Structure formats: structure tokens, C-alpha cells
Chain A
Amino acid sequence: MNELAGIIVAPLALVAATIGWWLLAFVPALRELYQRSDVEPLRVVRGHDNDVHYFARRFRARVDSYLETTPASRKKPGKSPAKAAQNSIHYLLTRDDGSVSMPAFVNPKGSGVNIVLAPSSVTLPREAALLIELFAANSLHSGEANIFRAILADEDISLGKDSYVLRWLHAGGAIRADANCTLYGRASSDQLIALENGCSFEHLHAPRIEFGASGKHEQASQADLKTTPIGPKALSKAVEVTGRRWLINQDVDIPAGRHIDADIVVTGRLRVGAGCHIAGSIKGHEDIQIDHGTRIDGSVVGVGNIYLVHDCQVRGPVLSERDIYLGPGCRIGTHQHRTTMNADHLYIAPGTVAFGTVRARVMGTVRTGRAV
């Protein structure tokens, strides 16, 4: 009897234990299936359109809602939302002696203040720190070594040297940053951004962006650029021509003063000689060097570093998966054709001008020196 039980029960127990052990893995799955705790679609923000003004617009709406709060909007007897709102604003006012009514706190937590507001043009003292969003109804002039969390100004913003902006800033007028300022996050202007030598940045957006003393650099005239046309076979024997595209499977050196009416894709290193005119786009799988005085009508796309020696003009986007080095006098985009420059690091010499967006995935720097 015992033997029979052993023969029957033992295998059954083994099978049951195996199935039970296997089903154990399904317990959380079955629980989730019936409890449905995570059934919403993944969030796709339909309104997301890469708008550089996003934070500025939201902050402006917040400021407006604070300022528009009136006693008429009172909802509960005995409590005035208007008063509460007024208490949460700190006004930066210029006193008769020229000093500014700076808030007493540095850390806004627990201060009860949500917004710092400058109702008229104001000039801040040296080493002021405002770690809360600041709205300037007119212009704002910071002192040296100021620190801001974020600034929105209807007119100009000028930052004293060695100042920091930690999150974003936007100006309806111009933004001018003196030497060695650091702009983290987005900086946008409806007119102009001008950064002096030693400034660092992440994301700039304006119709015109000047790096360093751009007006002092005498840019070589390219109106009378004299070039000689060159065909694909003269450039490389390893070229394949497909429509407008020349695909070249080796390193390429384009001699100086040549004109190419094509898009060029090079699987190796690419060097474009001085004074060339490329009436198309270029792409390099390794480093790209563009010598002085060259004009490119399309885009420049590099898997490696991109070097624009000096006085180069690129009308289209300049995109690198590594770093971009720009010598003095380079122009990226035009007034009519705003464009994008984008890389991990950007090293830009004073005298360069860009139109549109300049974005460093890590950090961009204005610094004196040669691109190559």
C-alpha cells in the first residue's frame, strides 16, 4: 500500500510543486491584470514643439495671474487672495539714495515670496543673489557676480561680469552678458544676445547672436569670392554620384578656391580648402575642417569634430555629434535664414555671429584662440 502511494503520490506531488512554482511567477502579472494599476498610455506631450520660450511664457502667465488678482476675486469671506498674492511678491525698488530694496532672504524657501518683481528699470548691486524667478517690467542691469535663478524682462537685460543664471532668461529686448558670465539652460531674446569673452552657455536663441566683440573683427568680404568648378572624379576616384549627392569612401581634401554644386558625403576625414564655395551640404564621418573664407550654402554635419578656421559662412545648420570650434569672423545663418548650431561642446572665438539657435549639449564657451 505504501509502495503504491509512493508511486502515485510522489510524482503527483512533484508535478503539483512544479506547476505551483511555475505559476508563482505569474502572481504579480495576474494581480496587475485584474487590478489595472498602470493602464494609461505613455505620455506623449502633443503640445511639445521645442519652443524655447516655454518657461518664459509660463512664468509670464503666472506673473499676470498674480498681478490681476483683485479683491473682486475674493472667494472666501475673511481671506483676501489679493493680499496673499501681494505678500508673495517682493518688489525691487530703487530708493532715493540709489540703493535697491533687495529681499532679506537668499534662500526663498519659507520666505513666503514666490516672485521678485522690478516694476521699473533697476540696477542691482554687486554680488546680489536672487534664487527665485525675477520679472523686470523694463530693463534689468545686474551688478558683478550676481546669481539669478531665472529672469524675464520686457526690455533689455545686461549681466555684469562673472554673473550666473541658473535656469533660464528671456528678454523682449537685448541680452548682453559681460565677461565670464555663465548661462545655464535657455537664454532667448526677441532681438539680440551678445556674449563677451569667457562666457559659457547651454542654449541660446535670438534673431542675432554675437560672440565677443563681433564689431571689431573685420570680416573678409566674400561677395567677390572667385572659385573654379571641380567635378566629382577630379575630387576623388572613389566617388559615387547619385543625383546631387557625391558619396566618397575615403578621406577628402578639397583644394582651395573650388566651387562644388553638390551635396558631399565623406566616410573619412574631410577638409575644405580656403575660399571654396559649396552650393550644397557636406557630411563627414570623421572630423571636418573648413578653411578660412569658405562659404557653404547648405548644412555641415559631422560625426566627429567640426573646425571652421575663420571668416567662414554656413547658411544651413551646423551639427556635430562631438564638438564645434569656430574661429573669428564666422557667420552661421543669415538674417533671412535663421539656423541651428548644435554640438556637445562649442568653442567660439570672439567676432563670430550666429542667427537663430546655438545649442551645446554639454557647454559652449566664448574664448579667444584659433579654431585649429
Chain B
Amino acid sequence: MLLTTADNQRPPAAETTTTSAIAGTAPVVTDNTPVPRERSRAWYVMVMLIVLYSIVFLICVYMIRHYWFTLNRLFGEQRHPYLDVDEGDWPTVTVLVPAHNEEAVIAHNLEALLDTNYPHDKLVIVPVNDRSTDRTKEIIDDFARRYPDNIKPFHRTEGQPGKSAALRDVTETVDSDVLLVFDADYIPGRGLIKQLTSPFFDPEVGAVMGRVVPMNCGKNLLTRLLDLERAGGYQVDQQARMNLRLVPQYGGTVGGVRMAALESVGGWREDALAEDTEITYRLLLAGWKTVYQNRSECYEEVPEVWPVRIRQIKRWAKGHNQVAFRYGFSLLGNRRSSFFEKLDGILLLGVYLMAPILMLGWILALSLFFLGENPFHSIIAILSVVAYGALGNFAAFFEIAAATRLDGATRRLRLLPLNILGFIVSVVSITGATLSQALPHNLFSKKLVWHKTERYRKPVHKPT
């Protein structure tokens, strides 16, 4: 490939053509006249370089973070301070189960919740049926009729749609000490409510998060890749943040909040796109801690088809970005958080923003490469690409590998190289979501809808 340089400030006497730019070799001078290597760069090249350097720096920061977390998880001290609490004066708990057209799964969920070993005189289960058009209401009412002391349904027929709005409405009717949330497709184990409630004996804890484990992981390539991704996210990422006293994230399900803490920060926001991330940061700003319980595990269904997965990750990205813009600066100035909490909180908020930044970095690196300013630039461009490919991404893959090892499921690790596929889909989807979010129309829009993730189980419940 022959490229003509774009540098118009080159001395006219020195007509040069660079060759082998891909190989990054020195320019070949056709008239054998020596050319001075030092020359001024075009302003836009300088800007591109500065931006690229900054992006590579950010990638390196995330790379260090990933390695730090993984090494901590493999070799560091593990914190499970509330795991062994099996006796105490347990607080009253309300379990919310948001449900919108969940006839396939809601019965399993309610049966499992009723089977838990939490003192039943302190447990209320509230299925939040938000305008379901299938048999969800019928199934819930049947359970409520059979277990009137423990199941108290909340049927929404009006008001703002969306999980945040539904949570806000139902929370106003709750007078328990602790509020736990389970998605309708989750199947909690017998001891899970106690495990998730035990951290609230600590008066500093505002929220708790358990671990979700994909139940349908063997379905196809997508579910298997998501299984690996979830393992890395929970087994390594969340637990490392717990170990290092950083910012474990409340994930909106298999977790809960202290009512007093929730009230102290103003309750759920109706316009939150990701109420879980939102509440994590509002609690953090108010001096409440979120804790992660890695051994409080619960099965979930992961998307089985790519369009559903893409919608899911786009929704997460938009919600996360919203929180980043709302609370990023407040966090930096927050005197209730430690330096490392602030650092981790900012990096966590930036996770989804990194996708478009990464795309920009690729474009810049390739552009600089083909502009072929001089060999040094080409090397930088190549190094940049290598930095993305080898370091940044591999660090995340290292997390997944460590997670599968900790889980004792090492054979599925062989699929790891295929995760590059999920990675690329995520980067493109998140970039699209972020760019669309930046459009003025979407930036100021208040319209919210219930983003329901498709379920794959078959309905089994027959009302008695």
C-alpha cells in the first residue's frame, strides 16, 4: 500500500513517498535526498494524538482496575462479615416482586419465597403487578387467597409506567424495616432472605446485593457467554469491590435496601432509567454502604436471543449514563466517601461510557496509522490498538477466567475466546445507545416504558 503523507508543511525540495506504512518503517525517499526527521505536525494531528493518548491512558486505568480486582479475588483477604449470622432479632421484611406479564415464572418465584426459612411473622411478599395483560394477576390473586398473611398483592392500573415508578408507588404502602426486591423469574433458596437481611444488623449498611447465577446457561452460545460474563461480574468484580471496601453495586434484584436509608435519600426516583445504580450512588453520597454477599446466590434467566440481549444492554447503558451525569461530580466532592470509594465510584460510572470512547480510540488509532505522519506515530497507533486488544480486553477476560476457576467450572472457560463476539456486540450496542441518548430529543425526554426482558420458561401454575 502506498500512501502520500498529508503533511503540507514539508519542504518542497524533499518529495517523499512513504511506503510500508503498515510495517511502520522509515519513509522511503525516492530521490535519495536526506530529509530532516523533525517537522511540525498539523494541528488536527496533534489533537488526535492527545485524545488518543488520553483514551489509551483511560484503558490502562481500567486494565489496572481489572487486574487489581482479579488478583485481590485470587490472593487477597475475602470479606464475608455478615454471612454467618443465623440468629438475631430479625427485622421485618417486605419482598417486592415487580411483574409485568410474568405468567411463565411468577408462580415458581412465589412458591420459593414462601418456602424460605425467614420468620413468617416478619415476612410479607408483595407481587407488584403492573398492568399485566396475561394471567399474572390471576396467579398472584390465587396465591394471595391461599396465603393471606404473607402475600399482599399490589396491582397497578395507572400512573407512570416503569419499574422505578412501580417501586415508588408500592414503597409508599410498606412499613417494614427492610425492602428486598426479586425479579419475577428468580428462584430464591431457603436461606436467602436471612442471608440478604443479615447485613442490616450493621447500622451503616443501606443496601445489599446477592449473586445471580444463570439458570438457562446451556441453551446456546449467547447464554453460555452471558454465563461467563455474569461469573466475572459477580464472583470477581463485585466481591473484590466488597473486599477492598469500594463501591459494590446494588443490582435491583436479589438485593434490597433499608427503608430508613431509602427514605433519607428521598425514595425511588420515578424518572430513573436504572433505579438500582441510581440508589447505589444516592446512598453512597448520603454515607450509607452497599454490601455484596457473594454466597447469597439465586438463579435467573438470561436472554436467549441476541435482540433481547442488545435491548437489555442498551437499557443498562442508558440508565448507567444517566446516573453518571447526575451524580458523577457530586461524588468527587463527597466528604463521606473515601478517596478509593470516589475513584472506584467514578470508574464504575464510566464503564458504559468507555464503549464509545473505545470506538473513538480505534478510529483515531487507525486514522493516525494511515495518515502515516512518521514511523513514531505509526508505532503509537499500533501500540494503541495492541493496548486495546491485548491489555484492556484481556484484563476483563482474565476476570472471567479467574471467576470460572473460583466457581470450579473450568471446562466452560474454553469458550472464553468467543467472548470477543459478545464484547463487540456490547461495544456497538452501548455506543449506539449512548449516542442516541446524547440527542437533545432523548436527553430531555421524560417518557418511560416498562422494559421487559423476555422469559423462556413455560407457564405451569394452575390456580386452585
Give bound CA distance, A205 to B84, whole Å: 12
Distance (whole angstroms) from the CB of A37 to the closest CB of chain B: 5
**Which residues of chain A have C-beta atoms less than 8 A from B60's C-beta?**
none
Q: Which residue of A lies closest to B215 (CB)?
A: A41
CB within 8 Å for A265 and B414 given contacts A317-B85, A319-B81: no
Q: Mark B272-314, 1 if CB is under 8 A from A, else 0.
A: 0000000000000011000000000111000000000000000
Distance (whole angstroms) from the CB of B211 to the closest CB of chain A: 9
Q: Out of A42, A319, A359, name the residue touching B201 (CB < 8 Å).
A: A319
Do A263 and B217 have beta carbons less than 8 Å apart?
Answer: no
Do A316 and B191 have beta carbons less than 8 Å apart?
Answer: no
Q: Assuming A240-B287, A316-B201, A340-B87, what are 15 further A-B pairs, CB within 8 angstroms?
A: A39-B217, A39-B224, A39-B412, A41-B214, A42-B213, A46-B187, A46-B190, A242-B286, A242-B287, A243-B264, A247-B336, A301-B202, A316-B88, A321-B79, A339-B87
**Which residues of chain A have C-beta atoms less than 8 A from B79's C-beta?**
321
Give bound CA distance, A45 to B299, whole Å: 10
**Which residues of chain A have C-beta atoms less than 8 A from B412's C-beta?**
32, 38-39
16 contacts between A and B (CB under 8 A): A32-B412, A38-B410, A41-B218, A44-B213, A48-B191, A240-B336, A263-B203, A265-B203, A282-B203, A298-B201, A299-B88, A316-B88, A319-B85, A338-B88, A340-B87, A357-B84
Q: Mark B173-213, 1 if CB is under 8 A from A, else 0.
A: 00000000000000101110011001001111000000001
Distance (whole angstroms) from the CB of B26 to the closest CB of chain A: 21
CB within 8 Å for A41 and B217 given contacts A29-B418, A264-B203, A319-B202: yes
Q: Is A36 an interface residue (CB 8 A)?
A: yes
CB within 8 Å for A340 and B85 given contacts A38-B412, A44-B213, A242-B287: yes
Do B88 and A247 have beta carbons less than 8 Å apart?
Answer: no
Do A32 and B415 have beta carbons less than 8 Å apart?
Answer: yes
Distance (whole angstroms) from the CB of A364 to the closest CB of chain B: 13
Do B190 and A49 have beta carbons less than 8 Å apart?
Answer: yes
Do B218 and A40 have beta carbons less than 8 Å apart?
Answer: yes
Distance (whole angstroms) from the CB of B222 to the closest CB of chain A: 12
Give bound CA distance, A226 to B350, whole Å: 54
Q: Is A270 an interface residue (CB 8 A)?
A: no
Q: Mark B411-449, 1 if CB is under 8 A from A, else 0.
A: 110111110000000000000000000000000000000
Do B194 and A50 have beta carbons less than 8 Å apart?
Answer: yes
Interface residues of A in 23-79 (CB under 8 A from B): 25-26, 28-29, 31-33, 36-42, 44-50, 52
Give bound CA distance, A264 to B202, whole Å: 10
Q: Is A283 an interface residue (CB 8 A)?
A: yes
Q: Which residue of A lies closest to B221 (CB)?
A: A33
Q: Which residue of A lies closest to B265 (CB)?
A: A242
Give bound CA distance, A263 to B217, whole Å: 43
Distance (whole angstroms) from the CB of B109 to the closest CB of chain A: 13
Q: Is A198 an interface residue (CB 8 A)?
A: no
What band does the interface of chain A fall in when counting residues whose beta carbon is under 8 Å from B?
Answer: 35 or more
Distance (whole angstroms) from the CB of A193 to the closest CB of chain B: 14
**Which residues of chain A have C-beta atoms less than 8 A from B84's C-beta?**
50, 340, 342, 357, 359, 361
Q: Out of A36, A247, A356, name the residue touching B87 (CB < 8 Å).
A: A356
**Which residues of chain A have C-beta atoms less than 8 A from B215's C-beta?**
41
Q: Is A337 an interface residue (CB 8 A)?
A: yes
Q: Out of A38, A49, A240, name the residue touching B409 (CB < 8 Å).
A: A38
> Which among A26, A36, A39, A316 has the highest number of chain B CB atoms within 10 Å?
A39
Q: Which residue of B lies closest to A343 (CB)?
A: B81
Do A32 and B414 have beta carbons less than 8 Å apart?
Answer: yes
Q: Mark A122-148, 1 if CB is under 8 A from B, else 0.
A: 000000000000000000000000000
**Which residues of chain B have C-beta atoms less than 8 A from A356's C-beta?**
87-88
CB within 8 Å for A38 and B411 given contacts A29-B416, A340-B84: yes
Q: Mark B80-103, 1 if CB is under 8 A from A, else 0.
A: 011011111100000000000000
**Which residues of chain A have C-beta atoms less than 8 A from B81's C-beta?**
301, 319, 321, 342
Give bound CA distance, A265 to B289, whole Å: 11
Give bound CA distance, A10 to B233, whole Å: 44
Q: Which residue of A lies closest to B231 (CB)?
A: A42
Do A48 and B418 have beta carbons less than 8 Å apart?
Answer: no
**Which residues of chain B have C-beta atoms less than 8 A from A32's C-beta?**
411-412, 414-415
Give bound CA distance, A29 to B412, whole Å: 9
Q: Is B134 an interface residue (CB 8 A)?
A: no
Distance (whole angstroms) from the CB of B294 to the closest CB of chain A: 12
> Which among A26, A38, A359 has the highest number of chain B CB atoms within 10 Å?
A38
Q: Is B133 an interface residue (CB 8 A)?
A: no
**Which residues of chain A have C-beta atoms less than 8 A from B409's C-beta?**
38, 42
Q: Mark A332-372, 1 if CB is under 8 A from B, else 0.
A: 01000111101000000000000011010100000000000
Distance (whole angstroms) from the CB of A287 to the closest CB of chain B: 15
Do B203 and A44 have beta carbons less than 8 Å apart?
Answer: no
Do B411 and A340 have beta carbons less than 8 Å apart?
Answer: no
Distance (whole angstroms) from the CB of A249 to the closest CB of chain B: 8
Give bound CA distance, A359 to B81, whole Å: 12
Q: Out of A33, A242, A298, A339, name the residue touching B418 (CB < 8 Å).
A: A33
Q: Is B15 an interface residue (CB 8 A)?
A: no
Interface residues of A in 58-106 (CB under 8 A from B): none
> Which among A298, A315, A317 has the highest number of chain B CB atoms within 10 Å?
A317
Q: Which residue of B lies closest to A338 (CB)?
A: B87
**Which residues of chain A have C-beta atoms less than 8 A from B213's C-beta?**
41-42, 44
Q: Out of A247, A315, A340, name the residue touching B86 (CB < 8 Å).
A: A340
By Cβ-Cβ distance, the 9 closest A-B pairs, closest first, are: A39-B218, A49-B191, A263-B203, A38-B411, A356-B87, A32-B414, A46-B189, A49-B190, A38-B412
Q: Is B363 an interface residue (CB 8 A)?
A: no
